[in-house]
Amino acid sequence: MAVRAKTQGRGAVSNDVGRYERYATSIAYDGWDIEEDLTTLRTEVRDEVARSLITYNKSPDLPFDRSINPYRGCEHGCVYCFARPTHAYLGLSPGLDFETRLIARPNAAQILRRELSRSSYKVATIALGTNTDPYQPIEQSREITRDCLKVLSDFNHPIGIVTKGALIERDLDILAPMAEQGLVRVGVSLTTLDTGLSRRMEPRAPSPKRRLQMIERLTGAGVPVRVMTSPIVPGLTDHELENLLEAGKAAGADAASWIMLRLPREVSALWQEWLAEHMPDRADKVMARLREMHGGKDYDPRWGHRMRGEGEYAGVIAQRFKAACTRLGLNIRSEPLRCDLFEVPPQPGEQMTLF
């Protein structure tokens, strides 16, 4: 007799344990002659007291060397998310746990203020939302991202934000003044214009139409936006590339970027499960294209390779992207965010100087 997990509204199909766990759990038939449905998965959030917030990296593939993340895990549930394997470090599954068992860092703004105030701190653009979305649904009530933005605004600190979340519009009262000073740029991820595909692939993220509306509202308030056609899924969304760029440009974006689908560690198995469930007729084609770009493997993590792949197909995508951006005027190099305005504000109880 079948035992079915209720995964409606979630991206991952399974919840296999992370790579560091000694034991695994599984759904099994209990012997009773009745069909059973497991309890619908609910989102759980627990707090983590952060001891540090700014994470530094030396990756040559990234245009920034530091980032902050107010949350671990992401309720948007994008099945392809490259950050899913990080949940294994918490003893949780990169599958359904990643999108249902979230970690909030309520003291993030306090720690950020402390780190920016150190005399040894050297200013450079901070990236927000590089691992999990800072504007996922729980931000509505927790407001940790907003608190961090207030700190960055107080310090006149440059910031680059990556998000799918329409909740970013709430913070235009902070972002618009920062944009006037050249302190902020936002990247909005636009994966597909197909609403049905988006709902299956990124089940709790705003619809494509809503994301284009976000771009309009952000740019209308003076906040510069880059449309991110990421990830491009070969055999599934690649045919939409030019349409995605055109839609982003029409909504007000002034720049664009792209990344090929990445399948690090547990993401590969999760992605292939999703294909078998939702796109069985496309599964072989999608995986064949990916392996073609990675020397026969599902993924190759080498610097300079992991984001784009290599070979004829990857080259064609790069050429199409470049041609479309040239035609649409999305290839103009953006002005760097300003670092010269950075200043540590007076601390509570600290006497201000006269000059």
Query: Please, are residues 225 and 219 in contact by the beta-carbon 8 Å criterion?
Result: yes
Which residues fall within 8 angstroms of residue 230, CB to CB, at 6 or more apart? 189, 191, 257, 258, 259
Q: How many residues does the chain have?
A: 355
Identify the CATH assignment for 3-257 out of 3.20.20, 3.30.70, 1.10.10, 3.40.50.
3.20.20
Rounded to whole angstroms, how far apart are CA atoms 293 and 313?
Answer: 7
Block residue for tokens 């766990």? 21
What are the tens digits of pLDDT across the range 122-147? Answer: 999 999 988 899 999 999 999 999 99
In Å, the largest CA–CA distance within the chain is 82
What are the tens digits of pLDDT across the range 311-343? Answer: 999 999 999 999 999 999 999 888 899 999 999
- 101-104/184-189 β-pairing: unpaired
DSSP for 33-81, written as a single string: SS-EEPPPP--EEEE---S---EE---TT-S-SEEE-SEES-TT--TT-
pTM: 0.91
Rounded to whole angstroms, how far apart are CA atoms 306 and 40?
Answer: 36
Going residue by residue through the chain, which has 355 residues, state the pLDDT in tens, using 9 for 90 and above.
Answer: 334 456 778 989 888 877 777 666 665 555 666 665 656 778 999 999 999 999 999 999 898 999 999 999 999 999 999 999 999 999 999 999 999 999 999 999 999 999 999 999 999 999 998 889 999 999 999 999 999 999 999 999 999 999 999 999 999 999 999 999 999 999 999 999 999 999 999 999 999 999 999 999 999 999 999 999 999 999 999 999 999 999 999 999 999 999 999 999 999 999 999 999 999 999 999 999 999 999 999 999 999 889 999 999 999 999 999 999 999 999 988 889 999 999 999 876 665 555 5
